[in-house]
Structure 1
Amino acid sequence: MTAQKGKDLLLKVDTDGAGSFATVAGLRARTLAFNAASVDVTDQESAGRWRELLEGAGIKTARVSGSGIFKDASSDETLRQYFFAGTVRDWQVIVPDFGTVEGAFQIAALEYGGQHDGEVSFELSLESAGALTFTHAA
């Protein structure tokens, strides 16, 4: 895989709960992180007292974050409504030449900011709220 343009990493939200995905406009930076908690099953009889982990037992989570500027009143309104309502909705993260991660997320943080001589910006943080799927890029 060759280097990819960061602007091609897209974040899309299901705007109506029926699978109509719209790109979150104005994002300048996006991050997708996967985590898996481990379950320690070490005991006195563990070989050499080395830690032992229980395979496949930890909790898996994903976090998506992004920041940008306001460009599209429709997607801005959707984000604001989902945050204040605590809505869990399907989202897609499209990574060029890699694939699409899709599943339920909830907006965990929505921040607004701005300088007196600049544009209003926002920061967004999503936490996974269920199983995620991955589809390889064609």
Structure 2
Amino acid sequence: MAIQKGKDLLVKVQNAPGVFVTVAGLRSRALSFNAETVDVTHAESAGRWRELLAGAGAKRASVAGTGVFRDEASDALVRGLMFDGAIETFQIVIPDFGRVEGPFQVTGLEFKGDHAGEMTFDLALESAGALAFTAA
């Protein structure tokens, strides 16, 4: 994968079946994957090294973003998901790599404003089910 522009990493939310809109105004975005481990170490583990059970831990994905308000429709959609505690299908587009799609819940929405600056927001999403990856 060649060097990519950070602005091309997109976070999109489904606003109608099969129709995704970009969460507008995001200046920075991050996608992280994590898998919990299941420790099965016992008294006879070789050399007393920790042993893990393959494929047994829960997997999750987190999305974080920071931005400025630019679009009433996507702002209202994300804000509504936060207040309702709803789970919606999101799509994270990774340029020249692919896209990750699946159910996410908005777990954080923070508003900030400086006296002499623009209003900004921080967004946090957590996966809420199985995710699918489609290569570019």
| TM-score normalized with structure 1 length | 0.97
1:19 Cα deviation from its structure 2 partner? 2.1
Residue equivalent to 1:48: 47
1:22 Cα deviation from its structure 2 partner? 0.3
Residue equivalent to 2:76: 77
1:20 Cα deviation from its structure 2 partner? 1.4
1:89 Cα deviation from its structure 2 partner? 0.4
Aligned partner of residue 18 in structure 2, secondary structure:
coil
1:45 Cα deviation from its structure 2 partner? 0.8
Residue equivalent to 2:117: 118
Gapped runs of 5+ residues in structure 2?
A: none
Tell me the alpha carbon deviations over residues 100-120 of structure 1, each in whole angstroms, 9 at most, x when there is no partner.
Answer: 000000000000001011110
Aligned partner of residue 2 in structure 1, secondary structure:
coil
Gapped runs of 5+ residues in structure 1?
A: none
RMSD: 0.6
| TM-score normalized with structure 2 length | 0.98
Identity rate of aligned residues, in percent?
59
The structure 1 segments of at least 4 consecutive aligned residues displaced by more than 3 Å after TM superposition are: none
Residue equivalent to 2:11: 11
CA distance in 1 between partners of 2:54 and 2:79 (Å): 39
CA distance in 2 between partners of 1:63 and 1:5 (Å): 20
CA distance in 2 between partners of 1:78 and 1:61 (Å): 23
CA distance in 1 between partners of 2:12 and 2:38 (Å): 33
Letter in 1 for 2:11: L
Matches of residues 1-138 of structure 1 in structure 2 within 5 Å? 1-16=1-16, 18-137=17-136
CA distance in 2 between partners of 1:57 and 1:105 (Å): 22
Letter in 2 for 1:36: A
